[in-house]
């Protein structure tokens, strides 16, 4: 769908504000899992292969993309972080397009731009998205491919949608839960319409990317691929109260987007949102089945929550239009809650999320004084970062301590 000038301006305005808030994160260097992936990508750029030369617990596309960036630009953590932020912005652009297409073409709503801009804002300025926007966890790139896939599937470009679905799965497996739910919805719809050819185009595109690559990796690396990528995740232990704590954190840290979603209880035409409800609950069920979950897993859910929640807000405002004082009071309350939450999140990022690790310069200085042939060894929360900053190798290619 071709966007009008005003529609593009609204997207770029929201995206520009978001990028400004996140700009400090591009140059922020601190311990964390992203350094594991950055070091792995550097190793791939130098000729090593995941599964053969080092333990890697995910499908390969994320670090292959990072390795390509390193090949082109050299090793630069700010550039790698910029790529993560760019992937998130690109994904949000397709969410915006998907929302416009849904509210304009499917619902024939009189305010598709307003609702889509609101959905975009709710998504980008949710705490979890803001906090992880420049972190190279693989979530942003997998989300980008997933939202591109969903847009093409929704606009009936089924083969292309299947291809991007495969790319999302090859980046992170957890995107497969909402995508397979979307596939099931398409199958039901096409079976009713007696147009199963469209569904087969989806599957063909998906198997052409995801299916062939997974088969090739299994044949090439055997157990070295199957064990870390599949078995490792199934063997993770269930920790007492861990999931309850995560759900509680997600609820209270992302209150505006969740409250907006809960407003959809009052929507009369819920059946028109059946697809997005179905995908959302399918993903929540998937999370319930996992032994261990993390807050950033919910980023994959938030595009659907934002889209439904944005309509919930607008629909409520329309339904109480006869009571102006009540309407203005509720709208003002929603705006205050959102602005308060977004401002608090931005302050948190500035003061805590993007804070520096003070001993880091001393650690790198001490390591830099050692011989170039000296290798590092230790916990993956800090060692890969030190290895990147000092151009040192990690002993035995023990990049990810999760291997134990």
Query: What are the tokens at 316?
Result: 């409520």
- Between CA 264 and CA 142 the distance in angstroms is 27
CA 107 to mean position of chain CA atoms: 27
- Between CA 254 and CA 122 the distance in angstroms is 10
pLDDT of residue 95: 97
Q: 3-class secondary structure for 56-108? A: CCCCCHHHHHHHHHHHHHCCCHHHHHHHHHHHHHHHHHHHHHHHHHHHHHHCC
pLDDT tens string 287-323: 998 988 899 999 999 999 999 999 988 888 777 765 5
pLDDT of residue 121: 94
pLDDT of residue 113: 94
pLDDT tens string 116-163: 999 999 999 999 999 899 988 899 999 999 999 999 999 999 999 999
- Between CA 320 and CA 90 the distance in angstroms is 35
pLDDT of residue 327: 58
pLDDT of residue 326: 60
- Between CA 306 and CA 92 the distance in angstroms is 11
Among 165, 95, 179, 172, which residue's Cα sits nearest to residue 137? 172
Residue labelled with tokens 């000729």: 47
pLDDT of residue 18: 94
The answer to whether 251 touches 258, Cβ cutoff 8 Å, is yes
- Between CA 163 and CA 17 the distance in angstroms is 32
Query: What are the tokens at 281?
Result: 């609950």
- Between CA 124 and CA 128 the distance in angstroms is 9
Q: Mapping DSSP to helix (H, G, I), strand (E, B) and coil, where does residue 252 land?
A: helix
Among 1, 35, 296, which residue's Cα sits nearest to residue 175? 296
Query: What are the tokens at 237?
Result: 């232990």
CA torsion, points 184, 187, 192, 193, in degrees to nearest 10? 140
Q: What is the pTM of this model?
A: 0.92
Query: What are the tokens at 346?
Result: 């931005």
Which helix (H) or strand (E) covers residue 270, if one does?
A: none
Would you give per-residue pLDDT tens digits along the chain (404 residues)?
688 999 999 999 999 999 999 998 898 888 888 899 999 999 999 999 999 998 999 999 999 999 999 999 999 999 999 999 999 999 999 999 999 999 998 888 888 999 999 999 999 999 999 989 998 889 999 999 999 999 999 999 999 999 999 999 999 999 999 999 999 999 998 888 888 999 999 999 999 999 999 999 999 999 999 999 998 887 778 878 888 999 999 998 898 899 889 888 888 888 889 999 999 999 999 999 898 889 999 999 999 999 999 998 888 877 776 556 665 666 667 777 777 777 777 777 777 777 777 787 788 878 887 877 778 887 777 888 888 888 888 887 777 766 54
């Amino acid at each position: 769908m071709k966007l009008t000038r005003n529609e593009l301006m609204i997207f770029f305005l929201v995206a520009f504000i978001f990028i400004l808030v996140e700009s400090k994160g591009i140059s922020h260097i601190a311990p964390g899992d992203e350094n594991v992936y950055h070091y792995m990508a550097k190793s791939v750029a130098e000729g090593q292969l995941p599964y053969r030369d080092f333990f890697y617990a995910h499908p390969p596309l994320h670090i292959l993309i990072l390795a390509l960036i390193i090949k082109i630009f050299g090793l630069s953590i700010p550039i790698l972080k910029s790529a993560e932020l760019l992937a998130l912005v690109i994904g949000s652009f397709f969410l915006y397009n998907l929302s416009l297409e849904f509210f304009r073409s499917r619902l024939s709503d009189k305010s598709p731009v307003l609702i889509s801009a609101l959905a975009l804002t709710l998504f980008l300025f949710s705490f979890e998205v803001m906090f992880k926007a420049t972190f190279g966890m693989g979530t942003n790139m997998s989300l980008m491919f997933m939202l591109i896939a969903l847009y093409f599937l929704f606009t009936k470009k089924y083969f292309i949608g299947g291809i991007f679905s495969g790319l999302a799965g090859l980046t992170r497996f957890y995107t497969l839960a909402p995508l397979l739910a979307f596939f099931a919805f398409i199958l039901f719809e096409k079976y009713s319409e007696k147009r199963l050819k469209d569904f087969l185009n989806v599957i063909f595109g998906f198997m052409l990317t995801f299916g062939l690559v997974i088969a090739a990796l299994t044949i090439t690396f055997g157990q070295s691929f199957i064990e870390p990528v599949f078995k490792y995740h199934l063997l993770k232990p269930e920790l007492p109260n861990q999931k309850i704590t995560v759900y509680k954190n997600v609820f209270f840290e992302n209150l505006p987007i969740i409250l907006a979603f809960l407003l959809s209880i009052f929507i009369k035409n819920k059946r028109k949102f059946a697809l997005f409800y179905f995908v959302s609950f399918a993903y929540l069920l998937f999370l319930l089945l996992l032994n261990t979950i993390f807050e950033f897993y919910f980023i994959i859910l938030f595009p659907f929550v934002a889209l439904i929640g944005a309509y919930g807000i607008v629909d409520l405002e329309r339904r109480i239009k006869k009571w102006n004082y009540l309407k203005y009071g509720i709208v003002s309350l929603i705006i205050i809650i959102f602005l308060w939450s977004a401002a608090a999140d931005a302050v948190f990022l500035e003061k805590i999320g993007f804070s520096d690790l003070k001993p880091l310069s001393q650690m790198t200085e001490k390591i830099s004084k050692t011989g170039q042939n000296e290798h590092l060894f230790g916990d993956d929360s800090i060692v890969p970062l030190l290895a990147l900053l000092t151009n040192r190798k990690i002993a035995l290619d023990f990049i990810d301590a999760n291997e134990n």
